Amino acid sequence: MSDVIEPVSEALIERAKAALGRRNLVFVGLMGAGKSAIGRMTATALGIPFIDSDHEIERVSRMTISDLFVAYGEEEFRALETRVIKRLLHTGPRIVSTGGGAYINERTRRHIKKQGLSVWLKADLDVLWERVNKRDTRPLLKTENPKQTLENLMDARYPIYAEADLTVISRDVKKEVMVEEVLTALAAMPKK
């Protein structure tokens, strides 16, 4: 058996594009789920723009996410995040990856539901921990027991992420496999 991944079929891409229409596809999920990497590759496959909301927040604020949390606190950061995501969703179609807490905010979730399709990249604790424990750029994990904090975030956020239009299991497979699964889930959505 070969490790070569076949490119995503044109037929699947066309079905996914038709299902998306002019809407935005918004990736939600916890840190480390793969929202940016899979989102970027999905955008490339569909031939539409990709925007990472965290990068856009850093660009407009001229501060890092960590610095924003320290300077203004989580509540102010979430308000800025909501405004930025609302602006990003104004035109479409495009792929938007969001920060882990964005979809938890009710106002942000309303904007996403109104102007896009949401896809939750759902991962188990061990997968997420393996991906996030190597970097110290996660402000919410600057705690005494970061793995427990991550598990607590899962417990609190997974019921809300479950409201997403689509759910794709994020796991340790080639990114191309994940992209194909996202496109397959998207293609199965009713057209609007």
Spatial CB neighbours of 134, under 8 Å, sequence gap ≥ 6: none
Q: Sheet of 95-97: strands edge to edge?
A: 50-52, 95-97, 24-28, 116-122, 166-169
- State which H helix or E strand residue 57 sits in: helix 53-61
pLDDT of residue 184: 95
pLDDT band at 8 (very low <50, low <70, confident <90, very high): confident
* pLDDT at 99 exceeding the cut of 80: yes
Domains and CATH numbers, the chain: 27-187 (3.40.50.300)
pLDDT of residue 24: 96
pTM of the model: 0.90
